[in-house]
Structure 1
Amino acid sequence: MSKLPFQTLKAFSDAHPKPSNRHFQYGTAGFRTLGSTLDSVMFRVGVLAGLRSKRLDGKTIGVMVTASHNPEQDNGVKLVDPRGEMLEASWEGHATVLANAATTDEFLTALDALVKAVKIDVSKPARVVYARDTRSSGPALVAALEDGFKALGIEARDAGVTTTPILHYLVKAINTKGTPESYGEDSEDGYYKKLSGAFKKLVAGKTEPEPLVIDCANGVGAHAAAKLAEYLGNSIPLVLENIATSTPGVLNESCGADYVKTTQRLPPNLVDKLKPGQRACSLDGDADRLMYYYLDERGHFYMLDGDKIAALVAAFIVDLVRLAGLDSEIKVGVVQTAYANGASTKYLSERLPVKCVPTGVKHLHHAAEHYNIGVYFEANGHGTVLFSPTTQEKLAKHEPSTPAQSTALNHLINLTQLINQTVGDALSDMLLVEVVLTHKSYSGVEWNSLYADLPNRLVKVVVSDRNAFRTEDAERRLVSPHGLQTRIDELVRRYGGGRSFVRPSGTEDVVRVYAEASVRSQADGKDYPHVIGTSTYVVFVTELAFRVAGLVYDEAGGDPSRRPKEFL
């Protein structure tokens, strides 16, 4: 085996020193923190991507520079494995070790140890495709990443400014090109052609839908949605809002999927633009999350989140499988996390198998692969549908016995082309939702009436060390800090139909508190600014969420004099 080019690596590494007193961790969404601190991490990730490719005999690895729904000053980077899936879990640890090597010499020592530990043949070729979102810190960080490629002599393809899902698509398309498993043309245009072509087939002969408003979060999704609209033509009219991708400070600011989910309200600039009953949706900063919503005739806001999307889509696919005469051979299942609304879990469990897993795409994706057709959506709007290779083969070979079976079968086949099965994709999921609404002749009202959400609330608590909070039971119960779960249990018992859990964020230095309850109470002379919608009732769950958050704040050693008012 050849040896690593240590002299070249040293020269490049010296130009990207690790900042002192800072620890980096490869988490659920890769590395993510203030963009100004990530120069050394980007360089080292560039080298790691090359080693990962060499370990896999030169298959193309993806690198995405993004911080998704995070504030604009943040940035991050994650690796994508050859099938378009998340980086293999064992390599997350390798990434963390390399990122935290204090000096160039320690970095080179760690590289050498990695090569020997996982038996990498350094003489193998290395290929990478990379992209970034619209953040102003992106170009400088990409330059550091490219130095990592140069240091190891990696064959790198720059996909430019594009969405995270498109980068995932490109990775799989490149690695399957010219094979029976070809995923599509390995270009951004190939992505748009694939999705728009399948969508047009699925809505052919149906009534053209009313215009759909898309909040693009002032992020890279604005570019992609505009291009997709050109390919879709007249099949669905799209109205794009929040498309100021070059204006500093507006990315994800009071807009986007995360804003809608956490505040449970319209982006402020849509308040006077959205007509009663009109469908609207929000993407996040890198277009991998999707949140739908509408206003009723009184102007009341109704959110249709990932749970609602899962319910809509799963039921539609189950019906198609039955109509195609394949219900005895193809089983559909749903994967959720603890954030799923209890009402959605009940609705789905009465119709098909449901599994709960820890938060994070890698957990959901892996669990969904165990079904013939696996539907997974996080409540935050990130998700997709996986058709197993065996199922896709079965769909291709199945011979329908009636025209109705033939139609349903063709719909299922076209869904495999419409859905980006590599990762959650807001634009692909948006088209999927529009297909189901068109077939069902549903408005937002009919869709929302599938089940009534239990009132819920999500609160973030800033802590000094999120790693001090450890969980079990698919993150539904705390193992540490010791005794905190018992105090949470005691508090939850005071609220009718109450449920609450606490987990450390995988993307931010915070702890997240989720709560839901089935009881509403008349306002008791208090003004709660976080009440769901515009209800004049206080939702008990708001109080529950903030009281649990108060317990977390106290446990984390927060200054009592600076305890947020909402916790009182």
Structure 2
Amino acid sequence: MNYSEIHNISVTQYPNKCSRKFEYGTAGFRTRAEYLDHLLFRMGILAVLRSKVKGAAVGLMITASHNEEPDNGVKLVDPNGEMLETKWETIATSLANAPDSEIVETLKKIVNDNNIDENASAVVILGRDSRQSGVGLSRSAIIGIKATNAIVKDFGVITTPQLHYFVVCINTNGAYGEATTNGYISKLCRAFIKAKDSNTKNFYSKKLFVDAANGVGAIVTKALQKELKDFLEINLFNDGTGTLNHQCGADYVKINQVAPINSPTISNARCATIDGDADRIVYYYNDENGKFHLLDGDKIATLIASYIKDLIEISGLSILLGLVQTAYANGASTNYISGLLNIPVACTDTGVKYLHQRAHEFDIGVYFEANGHGTVIFKDKTVELIQEAATNNTCTESQRKAALQLCNLINIVNQTVGDALSDMLIVETILDARDWDIVTWNRSYIDFPNRQVKVHVKDRNVIKTTDAARRCLSPPGLQEKIDELVSRYSKGRSFVRPSGTEDVVRVYAEAENSADADKLAGEVSLAVYQLAHGVGPMPNVPL
């Protein structure tokens, strides 16, 4: 590596103009775009070093997901298509915060500590979402990559899940799929068409309304709309002509419990909403009385897990199926899955990387965060078992059909990461097979009313948690107070956790009815404010 060139470029073109400390989290780095040029230059170099260590292509995605502009961000993708290894998150943080004068020293330390062969080849797969700032930030990353004489494959404007998919396709020499946008679309569409049930429907309608959050997902949705027009009638809105993530998108709908802007006014219309980089999806509808109903990641996870369980039982295969959730999963969904469906449920820390890791412990692992970020993971030996059953003449016809349908699902699923549009096609496949409308799906179980509240504090690090963030270790007395408050309400549950990016404590509360959920959320927020050095206005507790 030409350290002299890297130093000169860093000091003259990409000095750190931001006084804040950067920290690599589940979403990578994320802040206002104006502060990110130096960081993208550095992350371009880091991606090269990571590629040299692994001997395979590494991804670099420029996105701020559900955030509105002017925010942007960057995250790295490991060769297997999964999130960056935890150890390298720490390395990324150290490089991001190194003084301009110490860039070369920091890079040499990374090389020495990780026994990196500087002469090894490296490939970086680059992508960005549709934010205007992405063009300049992409250029900054490319300059960093080329300063190390590595190869960059720039896919331009793509969804985050597409980048993960392309990384795996390239590192498997095409075994996982073709590393092109057309190859990605073609694989999804072929599998979806094969999986479609041909029987006459009484309740399921192929008409679907999709809110694309005015993001990059609109481009892919339009391609699906064209390819699947005879099988799924996609009615697209917030299609990129409006403001990214403004009053639209999965995160907006989930948090505010309202339909996005420009949503259809048709009663009981089946609607899906994705986020700005298309890795989250939730469904919703307004009933005949105008009441809003949300079908979030929990509802999607339970739908998928229950359907896969049915197929496993019909196929007669011995497969361990499990579902992974976080503490944010609604208690009613956990009761439904573990109690009624008798499917093992595991709980992990918040962050899709933790769910992804835990899902690997099952033969088939379904994981979703309540925000709609999730997928299904199939072990290689499980895929082989299913494929063999689908063509085994000693099996009954119904067993072979069930195994074949599992094969179709495997090809629809983007196993590398949560993929909103892949997940959408899985949901549509299952609703079609079961002949369910969205109201029937929603009635599978009734969510407990829940609330999510932010409490501003002097220092979020005063909050320490355990048991997948379900219990609070500090400050002293806070967990005891939460326990006492929860005990007052039927079906009550609440937990707190610190934000990963700002001095905010996130409060989650649920109870048997909406009024109690409001009160519990307010009371726990007040306890956090009082015991964790809250700042600003005191939280309101409903009477």
TM-score by length of 2: 0.95
The answer to whether the 8 Å contact 1:72/1:135 transfers is yes
Structure 1 consecutive aligned stretches of length 4 or more whose deviation exceeds 6 Å: none
Corresponding position of 1:492: 486
The answer to whether the 8 Å contact 1:216/1:241 transfers is yes
Question: Aligned equivalents of 2:525 and 2:246: distance in 1?
Answer: 24
Corresponding position of 1:524: none
Shift of 1:464: 4.4
Question: Aligned equivalents of 2:283 and 2:385: distance in 1?
Answer: 33
Question: Aligned equivalents of 1:508 and 1:137: distance in 2?
Answer: 22
Q: Secondary structure at the match of 1:183?
A: coil
Alignment match of 2:258 (pick from 265, 268, 274): 265
The answer to whether the 8 Å contact 2:255/2:452 transfers is yes
Alignment match of 2:184 (pick from 162, 167, 191): 191
The answer to whether the 8 Å contact 1:257/1:282 transfers is yes
Question: Aligned equivalents of 2:460 and 2:245: distance in 1?
Answer: 24
Q: For each residue in 1:480-518, what CA deviation from the matched residue of structure 2 results, as whole angstroms up to 9, or x when unmatched? A: 233322222222222222111111233555321111011
Question: Aligned equivalents of 1:40 and 1:546: distance in 2?
Answer: 41
**Aligned CA distance change for structure 1 residues 135 and 509 (closer, same or farther; 3 Å):** farther
Alignment match of 1:7 (pick from 4, 9, 18): 4
Letter aligned with residue 94 of structure 1: I
Q: Secondary structure at the match of 2:236?
A: strand
The answer to whether the 8 Å contact 1:68/1:284 transfers is yes
Letter aligned with residue 64 of structure 1: M
1:203 aligns to 2:196 (yes or no) = yes
Match runs of 1:8-157 below 5 Å: 8-14=5-11, 15-57=13-55, 59-103=56-100, 105-157=101-153
Corresponding position of 1:342: 331
Alignment match of 2:218 (pick from 218, 222, 227): 222
Q: For each residue in 1:206-233, what CA deviation from the matched residue of structure 2 results, as whole angstroms up to 9, or x when unmatched? A: 4473310001111111111111212223
Shift of 1:566: 6.3
Question: Aligned equivalents of 2:523 and 2:460: distance in 1?
Answer: 19
Aligned residue-pair number: 534
Give 5+ residue unaligned stretches, structure 1: 521-537
The answer to whether the 8 Å contact 2:518/2:542 transfers is no
Letter aligned with residue 444 of structure 1: I
Question: Aligned equivalents of 1:154 and 1:511: distance in 2?
Answer: 41
Q: For each residue in 1:306-326, what CA deviation from the matched residue of structure 2 results, as whole angstroms up to 9, or x when unmatched? A: 101111110100111111111
Letter aligned with residue 333 of structure 1: G
1:276 aligns to 2:276 (yes or no) = no
Letter aligned with residue 39 of structure 1: D
**Aligned CA distance change for structure 1 residues 10 and 257 (closer, same or farther; 3 Å):** same
Q: Secondary structure at the match of 1:312?
A: helix
**Aligned CA distance change for structure 1 residues 109 and 482 (closer, same or farther; 3 Å):** farther
1:477 aligns to 2:475 (yes or no) = no
Corresponding position of 1:312: 303
Corresponding position of 1:244: 240
Q: For each residue in 1:181-237, what CA deviation from the matched residue of structure 2 results, as whole angstroms up to 9, or x when unmatched? A: x11011111110000000000005244733100011111111111112122231100
Question: Aligned equivalents of 2:245 and 2:433: distance in 1?
Answer: 32
The answer to whether the 8 Å contact 1:550/1:567 transfers is no
1:288 aligns to 2:279 (yes or no) = yes
**Aligned CA distance change for structure 1 residues 309 and 555 (closer, same or farther; 3 Å):** same
The answer to whether the 8 Å contact 1:130/1:160 transfers is yes
Question: Aligned equivalents of 1:566 and 1:74: distance in 2?
Answer: 32
The answer to whether the 8 Å contact 1:177/1:186 transfers is no
**Percent sequence identity over aligned pairs:** 51
Shift of 1:555: 4.2
Q: Secondary structure at the match of 1:243?
A: coil
Letter aligned with residue 255 of structure 1: C
The answer to whether the 8 Å contact 2:453/2:507 transfers is yes
Corresponding position of 1:535: none
The answer to whether the 8 Å contact 2:387/2:404 transfers is no
**Aligned CA distance change for structure 1 residues 102 and 566 (closer, same or farther; 3 Å):** farther
Question: Aligned equivalents of 2:235 and 2:79: distance in 1?
Answer: 35
**Aligned CA distance change for structure 1 residues 564 and 71 (closer, same or farther; 3 Å):** farther
Aligned CA RMSD, in angstroms, stands at: 1.7
Shift of 1:301: 1.2
Higher mean C-alpha displacement, 500-509 vs 135-144: 500-509
Question: Aligned equivalents of 2:520 and 2:260: distance in 1?
Answer: 25
Shift of 1:556: 4.8
Letter aligned with residue 66 of structure 1: T
Corresponding position of 2:525: 549
Q: Secondary structure at the match of 2:246?
A: coil
Higher mean C-alpha displacement, 454-463 vs 330-339: 454-463
1:360 aligns to 2:351 (yes or no) = yes
Question: Aligned equivalents of 1:509 and 1:319: distance in 2?
Answer: 45
Shift of 1:551: 2.7
Shift of 1:106: 1.5
Higher mean C-alpha displacement, 185-194 vs 142-151: 142-151
Question: Aligned equivalents of 2:307 and 2:2: distance in 1?
Answer: 54
Give 5+ residue unaligned stretches, structure 2: none
Question: Aligned equivalents of 1:107 and 1:352: distance in 2?
Answer: 50
TM-score by length of 1: 0.91
Alignment match of 1:330 (pick from 303, 319, 331): 319
**Aligned CA distance change for structure 1 residues 349 and 115 (closer, same or farther; 3 Å):** same
Letter aligned with residue 158 of structure 2: T
Shift of 1:70: 1.5
The answer to whether the 8 Å contact 1:206/1:438 transfers is no
Question: Aligned equivalents of 1:20 and 1:72: distance in 2?
Answer: 18
